[in-house]
Amino acid sequence: MNYIFNEERVLLTQLGEEGVLYDIQTNEYFTLNETLFIIVDGIKNGLTLTEIGEVLMNQYDIDKELCHQEMTKGIQQLLEKDIISEQKNA
């Protein structure tokens, strides 16, 4: 599954190793920890989940199973807030 960043609705800014999202539609701010920032930034820049996973596994020295679990949790949170959406295949 591929995802796309909701650029029309959400602004992303990096603050150190973390990030902040601003939802223009709801006027809400969201603070992203380092891991969620890597996921969102990767999606925004067109990386695949496999590529994002590689970045996280290398940076945090974690195994593939733990990385997959954490990415799944993070992606679910991002989907619920409409920060990302599933990419529709043509």
Instruction: Determine if the pTM surpasses 0.85.
Output: yes
pLDDT, position 17: 87
Q: What is the pLDDT of residue 42?
A: 96
The class that CATH gives domain 3-86 is: alpha beta
- How would you class 47 by CB atoms within 10 Å of its CB: exposed for 0-12, middle for 13-18, buried for 19 or more? middle
Provide the phi-psi class of 74: left if phi over 0, else alpha when psi is between -120 and 50, else beta.
alpha
Write out residues in the chain with pLDDT < 50, as ranges.
Answer: none
Would you state the pLDDT for residue 56? 95
What pLDDT, on the 0 to 100 scale, is given for residue 87? 86
